[in-house]
Amino acid sequence: MGEIPEGWKPSSVSAEFNITMGQSPPGDTYNENGEGEPFFQVRRDFGWRYPENRVYCTQPNRMAKKGDTLLSVRAPVGDINKATSDCCIGRGLAALRHKSGCEAYTYYSLMDLRRNFNNFDSEGIVFGSINQKDLKALKVLRPSSSIVEVFTHVVGVIDQQILNFDIQNRTLSQLRDSLLPKLMSGKIRVGY
């Protein structure tokens, strides 16, 4: 692990984070018309930071909470997004949250662990994967609770602004997509 800063200690993912491994619900409970909970099976719906709601599930098995970091545990291992609402997760994903509850610390800790996930991408017969045992065993450093608290206050505010801007961008994109065809067809005219 290299040099360890004063006050920090070696630890593991299982000791520092609450982990929920995904489990896929029955296929006949999926839909794309918004019924049930948002459902993410693999990284397909991952965006640059937040997933896009495309598929929903009426009988979820495993849930991630709003603010949890979603980790792709299969094909490829290590892609990361952050849940913007409670959502159902399938077996290609895991949801993690630092035991302090700090969403920002969880997200950036997993971003730092991405280099370790590359080793699991080449494992498996058909595609790479990481199982719960291997995920829990990954080594991390444990900072003092005061460092996590300061991190939460400073970075948490920035993360909230990022989420607010992302919501605004999605709203503007939807507005553009609904207005542009009407403008092009002449159904709506712009006054001068």
Question: CA distances (Å), 71 to each of 45, 49, 81, in order?
Answer: 12, 12, 7
What pTM did the predictor assign?
0.88
Domain membership flag for residue 176: no
Residue-wise pLDDT for 66-99, tens only, equals 999 999 999 789 999 999 999 999 999 999 999 9
Domain membership flag for residue 191: no
Range of the domain at 63: 10-142
Domain membership flag for residue 30: yes
Domains contained in the chain, number: 1
Domain membership flag for residue 19: yes
Domain of 57, CATH number, reads 3.90.220.20
Domain membership flag for residue 154: no
Domain membership flag for residue 170: no
In one-letter notation, the amino acid at residue 144 is S
Q: Which region, left, alpha or beta, applies to residue 87 given φ > 0 means left and ψ of -120 to 50 means alpha?
A: beta
Tokens found for residue 88:
């159902």
Residue-wise pLDDT for 9-49, tens only, equals 999 999 999 999 999 999 999 999 999 999 999 889 999 99
Share of the chain above pLDDT 70, in %: 97
